[in-house]
Amino acid sequence: MKKELTKEEYAKIRYKRREAACFIYYRPADGQYYIGKIKYGEPVSGDAQASVYLGSSLPVENGVPKDAICITTCHTHTPFLDGSFEQEREVGPSKGDYDYLKNGDESNYGIVLDYVGIHVADKGDFVFPGHSVTDPPQMYIYYNNGRKADKYSFID
């Protein structure tokens, strides 16, 4: 029998997206960096804001050696695939990302993987609803001390 979806089921599964995140560690004993367990946020659809809860940074809860020191976090932002919405999303670290850093000291920084976006004069860089999931990505390093975020492109 042919599988059918009700309107409600269809709305539930279309354009689902979620963020992923992990802690990053440095271990002086061997001079190596370690990546903690990858955590995933709740899948969302439409123009809902995605987020991810990182939980504890304790090495033992993240599968890294217990003498590794947590130095930062890394998370992803999602594409914005549903073209039926009218609001764009600014790329790069969000207000929530900066708020998270404020829990620590001024030397705190974070890493987010997002899109390069499209520049809008006097406004900033944005992704628009319905853009391509394969649009050029960019890594942003953002700081708790007021320093402007650094951007690292993966394309030449």
Q: Does 94 bind Zn ion (CB under 5 A)?
A: yes
> Which position among 62, 78, 81, 97 is part of the footprint of Zn ion (CB under 5 A)?
97
Region of 26-34, 37-45, 90-98, 119-127 interacting with Zn ion (CB under 5 A): 90-98
Smallest distance from the beta carbon of 92 to Zn ion, in angstroms? 9
Q: Does 114 bind Zn ion (CB under 5 A)?
A: no
Q: Which is nearer to Zn ion, 52 or 81 (CB)?
A: 52
CB 50 within 8 Å of CB 98: no
Per-residue mark of binding to Zn ion, 39-78 (x: CB under 5 A): ----------------------------------------
Q: Which amino acid is at 125?
A: D
CB 59 within 8 Å of CB 71: no
Tell me how crowded residue 2 is: count the other CB atoms within 10 A of its CB: 3
Distance of CA 118 to the CA centre of its chain: 18
Smallest distance from the beta carbon of 134 to Zn ion, in angstroms? 20
CA 132, CA 121: separation in Å to the nearest integer? 22
Count of residues engaged in binding Zn ion, rule: CB under 5 A: 2
